[in-house]
A and B are shown apart, each in its own frame.
Chain A
């Protein structure tokens, strides 16, 4: 395949968007196979460092998705997360990370169709940005043996 295939790291909360992805599977709603999911208990667990790390390691895009405001399994996790997202979004946008490389969404566990549409849109938006050549670090390897 000659066309650029974007690599996207997705961070989903266990209770809502991960559930929506499960339901999309049950409903056989197809979407591009370009992203890899890191499951978090809550978007409130998402440290902005994770997003930086994904880009640094060459992700062409990052997608963060959790419960709608008010739906948090942990009462208020997504409210706190939302404030962090606001900061990170504005910072990365200002310093020149294309806005389409970083997606935030709220998708409930019942919204399989929204999930599918969003997944497609994320990949197409990132594809339109082209490969992440500028906001990454070359030759990063993970030596599990060293960290373990």
Chain B
């Protein structure tokens, strides 16, 4: 690199789930992050979702801890309401200029009490609820927003536009409103840029036949999602918009604005709509108690991800109807509802009435993103998605620029999160010398040892301006607090969270020798970390803190009952004091981290993971059971983008062999495993003992050996990989062949293997296209169930059809029939359109055999990580932690997790490395705090705690007694409530403390 200066900071543009993950991985790996978000708050589209497929997890519940983590991270600088103006320079040292648009609110003063918004006279469309209800001109984007600070819509504010009103300024108890706020240009330096600008849902306004603009009962899926959401316009109640009655029949129309080159120029598949439609259908049906009639009109159902096919089957079992028909037009019905005309599979023309038509609209790149890409000279495809290669899936066309999320193509949350981690790794591969150069470290004094001292409790009752004090008699609560046992000091405070109050708190701790602090104010979920930091700054162990939520749980909800609210505030304060008295300082211990990774599996995933780690300066040992590396990729001819896999692989091998950070152990496997995060020792079958801090499982998968279609009996019947091998070898018989039949879903999507193998449709389309290009007269038939060329791979499907490849659909109950007569292969298949049987005599029949797991039961047991019922390694969280195991220090990549194409394998490998780096980069790890401990004198060794621990953090020692590994414990307390003799105890939530709370609650 020519650049002399390497900057240890990264710009992340976009605060959606992908941007957040990238920011956290970067910041936790030792880089300072500037996160630029154009709106008031981070969270992106995911914050708008009610539930997420296929687990139906509550979206807000899973994203909000992440929001808080980003918002509070000392090395993530959040720049909201900010636009990127320019990025100059080159990888290693870019100069970024941004414009911070005015919020008109002093963020340091706003306490998000919402007083301002109450009297604001301006009612505006609420974008968070897809304009189905209203917000004010001064508003928060959504209730759980981070940063939780109000902002003024300057275009609409009466004061800013006309100089009238000014009500909010008068009402704000914190004096936070500043109508004079101005835009500000800021310049800073970064070493690289991660773009995560996300997508916008396709607006079906231009499709006049779908009547979205003029018929109320035609809505988009995101609007429907908001109706389903508990924080939506109808608080989770599904209605027919025209009359607000309960709908009885619902239709989902798939592919609105996707797979559409006539009315929109979006030839691609949006990847997520089939799944979200099924999700919304299932949830709506559930809300209705099962009574709701739901039909989904589709072209191909594309449930290709992990557990997606099961979700589809679940929907069918729940009575959701799937109709294979693309609806062209919608007609309104007088009196509400819509009429749909469609042609069924059998060719019958049908008219059906529905109460609501939901348009499953696709994902598109925003004009702003398109503009940004142009400004930054980044190559994009015809749909404005960023151009990437299979082997560097998150690297953009210009060095130093990386991308994740929908910018590289439409994708779901876990894929976005995976790419985000991958981007974090890729974006820092050239910045290693500057790691840690710009990050800040919190310096706190060593806490004073107060264990054994009698409790001296300080109680602070917050007014929160008028938020608490207008309802609760704060003075009375203070006087009451003074009477409580062990309370040395009690006082009120206007804003407990303000800077001056925090400083006063530090002074009072010292002045009165306080060793337990109780703050009666707002929610510990948002404010506990802040007060804990203050305790630490005062030299007090941060766990000697307890909070009473007398705002959210009291004054805000009992405004009409001030007396009872005051009584409740007193009780809550007493409960907090009772618990605080019993708190003990919690130790946080430091453990060493061995900065080496063990990568199990030397396929594309394993090799990439090791190379990525090496680029970050970490050593790894790759253990491969075969005598050569490369895995399945050795058999693949070319990628769906046409890149040669052999060339790539040989390049990869050379890099690995020449990399001093990588040790390759061939013909070996894991024999014995010991230890935990930071400190594993794995003994290989070669006898070599490897000490490592993290483990990446990349053991791959296998191609299923078909047991049908004359496979193994007739030499013309080959699997997809076998054909690839023939193509790779320039096989003459293949070159001479004139007729090919491809059979999809061989062994996949069957009752015994209820999942889609994800890669076959696109690979088949790609190979078919290549064959056709080489020999236009070749006759190629693809027998399929649903074509699943998701994302931009849809282009391959279209190209294949344009080149004359014939696609014939079959059903599971009428599979193609193979017969052999005098070595002549005959394939008979029923054409679902004509109903006739087609007879084909191919030179080759190519079976898209399922990808099956290696069923690595032994490995799973050795590392105490789970497999799902199909044998895939089971991640910590299907949405937000797609490469992590629940067990700390354990990661996965590649096909061991689930079948996926090579670009996704590479991304996941880079992601696993990025996640691993967040561990490896800390020479010492802090463990402890709120974790469980075992009183062994009480332990009978029955093992119930070990069985219920979700993190494998408990083991039985050589005396048969339970021990907690603090490095792995997350503090859920399952062990403590399951033990019959109370041997485990959860620090911070001890039986004694909770018992005291129960006693004082009454």
A and B touch in the complex (CB under 8 A): yes
Which residues in A have some Cβ–Cβ distance to B below 8 Å? 7, 9, 14-16, 18-19, 21-31, 33, 36-42, 44-50, 53-54, 57-59, 67-68, 70-71, 73-77, 80-81, 84, 108-114, 140, 142, 144-145, 147-148
Of all chain B residues, the one with the shortest Cβ separation from A75 is B950
The answer to whether B976 touches A45, judged by C-beta atoms less than 8 angstroms apart, is yes
* Further contacts, 9 of them, CB under 8 A, given A49-B991, A74-B974: A9-B1002, A36-B1001, A47-B976, A58-B1002, A68-B58, A73-B65, A77-B950, A144-B581, A144-B582
Assembly CA distance A70 to B877 (angstroms): 10
A127 vs B558: C-alpha distance in the bound complex, in angstroms? 18
Q: What is the minimal beta-carbon distance from B467 to any residue of chain A, in angstroms?
A: 10
Q: How far is the CA of A31 from the CA of B564 in the complex (A)?
A: 12
Contact A41 B231 (CB under 8 A): no
Residues from chain A with a CB closer than 8 A to the CB of B950 are 74-77
**Interface pair A23/B62, CB less than 8 Å apart:** no
On whether the beta carbons of B948 and A25 are closer than 8 Å, the reply is no
The answer to whether A23 touches B974, judged by C-beta atoms less than 8 angstroms apart, is no
Determine if A33 and B564 form an interchain contact, defined as CB atoms under 8 angstroms apart: yes
0/1 interface trace, chain B 541-584, chain A, CB 8 Å (1 if under)? 00000000101111011111100110110011001001001100
**Contact across chains for B970 and A74 when beta carbons are under 8 A apart:** yes
* Contact with A23, one of B144, B567, B582, B986 (Cβ below 8 angstroms): B144
* B576–chain A nearest beta-carbon distance, Å: 10
Cα(A38)–Cα(B561), bound, Å? 22
The residues of A that contact B977 with a CB separation of less than 8 Å are 44-48, 81, 84
Cβ of A57: which chain B residues have Cβ within 8 Å of it?
A: 998-999, 1002
Bound complex: CA A22 to CA B974 (Å): 24
Which 5 pairs from chain A and chain B are nearest by CB? A25-B552, A45-B973, A74-B972, A142-B999, A36-B1001
Interchain CB contact under 8 A, B561 and A33? yes
Instruction: State A67–B971 Cα separation when bound (angstroms).
Output: 16
Also in contact, A36 and B568, with CB within 8 A (given A142-B1000, A144-B485): yes
Q: Which of B49-57, B178-186, B191-199 contacts A (4 or more CB under 8 A)?
A: B49-57
Give the shortest distance, in Å, between B61 (CB) and chain A (any CB): 5
Q: Which residues of A contact B229 (CB under 8 A)?
A: 110
Contact with A along B522-547 (1 / 0, CB 8 A): 01111000000000000000000000
Tell whether B14 is near chain A: CB-to-CB under 8 Å: no
The reply to whether B60 and A108 form a contact with Cβ atoms under 8 Å apart is: yes
Q: Report the Cα distance A114→B977, complex, angstroms.
A: 27
Which residues of chain A are near B564, meaning CB under 8 Å? 33
* Contacts of B945-986 to chain A: CB distance below 8 A: 948, 950-951, 970-974, 976-978, 986
Contact indicator B60/A36 (Cβ below 8 Å): no
Given A21-B552, A112-B231, A148-B581, A142–B973 Cβ distance below 8 Å?
no
Do residues A70 and B572 form an inter-chain contact, with CB atoms below 8 A?
no
| Pick from A31, A67, A113, A140: contact of B230, CB under 8 Å | A113
Shortest Cβ distance from residue A86 to the other chain B in the assembled complex, whole angstroms: 14
Given A26-B114, A33-B564, A54-B1001, is A15 in contact with B556 using a C-beta cutoff of 8 Å? no
- B64: nearest residue on chain A (CB-CB)? A109
B 642-683 to A, binary, CB cutoff 8 A, 1 in contact else 0: 000000000000000000000000000000000000000000
Q: A67 to B549: give the CA distance in the assembly, Å.
A: 20
Q: Looking at B525, B559, B971, which has the most chain A CB atoms within 10 Å of its CB?
A: B525
- The CA of A16 and the CA of B103, in the complex, are separated in Å by 31
| Chain A residue at minimal CB-CB distance from B484 | A144
Q: Which of A18, A44, A114 contacts B974 (CB 8 A)?
A: A44
Among B55, B485, B974, chain A packs the most CB atoms within 10 A around the CB of B974
Do A144 and B578 contact each other (CB < 8 Å), given the known contacts A47-B991, A108-B60, A114-B230?
Answer: yes
A41 with B971, Cβ < 8 A, contacts A16-B61, A57-B1002, A113-B236 known: yes
A71 to chain B, nearest CB (A): 5
Contact A112 B1001 (CB under 8 A): no
Most buried by A among B526, B553, B559, B581: B553
Asked if A148 and B231 sit within 8 Å, CB to CB, the answer is no
With A28-B559, A73-B65 known to touch, is A80 a contact of B58 (CB < 8 Å)?
no
Residue among A26, A111, A112 with max Cβ neighbours from chain B (10 Å): A26
Residue total for B at the interface (Cβ-Cβ under 8 A):
76
Determine whether B30 belongs to the interface, using a CB cutoff of 8 Å to chain A. Answer: no
CB closest residue in chain B, given A49: B991
Within 8 A of A (CB), among B599-617: none
**Which residue of the partner chain A has the closest CB to B556?**
A25
Docked Cα-Cα span, A145 to B996, in Å, equals 11
Q: In the complex, are the beta carbons of A71 and B553 less than 8 A apart?
A: no
Q: For the complex, give the distance between the alpha carbons of A46 and B1000 in Å.
A: 18
**Which listed residue (A37, A48, A80) contacts B948, Cβ 8 A?**
A80
Which residues of B are found within 8 Å of A45, using beta-carbon distances? 972-974, 976-977, 986, 989
A70 partner residues in chain B, CB cutoff 8 A = 55-57
* Residues of chain B contacted by A84 (CB below 8 angstroms): 977-978
Least CB distance from A39 to B in Å reads 7
Cross-chain contact B230 with A75 (CB below 8 angstroms):
no
10 contacts between A and B (CB under 8 A): A28-B114, A38-B994, A47-B991, A70-B57, A80-B978, A110-B50, A110-B59, A110-B229, A144-B486, A147-B992
Given contacts A30-B558, A148-B582, A42 and B974 within 8 Å (CB-CB): yes
> For the complex, what is the distance from the CA of A33 to the CA of B550, rounded to whole Å?
11
Query: In the bound complex, what is the Cα–Cα distance between A110 and B972 (angstroms)?
Result: 21
Q: Once bound together, how far apart are the Cα atoms of A88 and B737, in whole Å?
A: 70
Q: A60 CA to B231 CA in the complex, in Å?
A: 31
User: What residues of chain A lie closer than 8 Å to B486, measured between beta carbons?
Assistant: 144-145, 148
Chain A minimum-CB-distance residue to B948: A80
Q: Please determine whether B61 and A22 come into contact, CB atoms closer than 8 angstroms.
A: no
Asked if B557 and A24 make an inter-chain contact with CB atoms under 8 angstroms apart, the answer reads yes
Q: Give the nearest-CB partner of A29 in chain B.
A: B557
Of A38, A46, A54, A112, the residue contacting B575 (CB under 8 A) is A38
User: Which of A14, A33, A44 contacts B568 (CB under 8 A)?
Assistant: A33
In the bound assembly, the distance between CA atoms of A57 and B578 in angstroms comes to 16
Residue B383 interfacial (CB < 8 Å) = no
Taking the closest CB of chain B, its distance from the CB of A41, in whole angstroms, is 5
Residues of B near A77 (CB, < 8 A) are 950, 972-974
A109 & B61 in contact (Cβ 8 Å cutoff): yes
Query: In the complex, A120 Cα to B452 Cα: how many Å?
Result: 44
- Counting chain B CB atoms within 10 Å of each CB, the highest count among A25, A44, A80, A142 belongs to A25
Residues of chain A contacted by B1001 (CB below 8 angstroms): 7, 9, 36, 38, 54, 59
B581 contacts A26, C-beta separation under 8 Å: no
- Shortest CB-to-CB span from A127 to chain B, Å, is 14
State whether B143 touches A108 (Cβ < 8 A): no
Instruction: Check: B747 CB closer than 8 A to any chain A CB.
Output: no
- Distance in Å: Cβ of B236 to nearest Cβ of chain A: 7
Give A30 to B977 CA distance when docked, in angstroms. 32
Cα distance A59–B999 in the bound complex, in angstroms: 10
Q: Given A16-B61, A44-B974, are A113 and B235 neighbors across the interface (CB < 8 Å)?
A: yes
Given contacts A33-B558, A109-B60, contact A40 B989 (CB under 8 A): yes
> B572 near A36 (CB under 8 angstroms)?
yes
- Which residues on A sit within 8 Å (CB–CB) of B553? 21-22, 25, 37
For A30, list chain B residues within 8 Å (CB).
Answer: 557-560
- Measured CB to CB, the closest approach of chain B to A143, in angstroms, equals 9
Q: How far is the CA of A139 from the CA of B561 in the complex (A)?
A: 29
B231 & A75 in contact (Cβ 8 Å cutoff): no
**Interface presence of B886 (CB below 8 A):** yes
CA distance A73 to B61 in the complex (A): 9
Chain B nearest Cβ from A19, distance in angstroms: 6
B455 within 8 A of A: yes
Q: Known: A19-B61, A114-B230. Contact between A28 and B994, CB under 8 A?
A: no
- Tell me, yes or no, whether B159 is within 8 Å of chain A by CB: no
A18 to B553, CA, bound (A): 9
Q: Which of A23, A38, A50, A110 is most buried by chain B, counting CB atoms within 10 A of its CB?
A: A110
| Known contacts A22-B549, A39-B524, A144-B996, A54 near B1002 by CB under 8 Å | yes
Query: Are A26 and B556 in touch, CB under 8 angstroms?
Result: yes
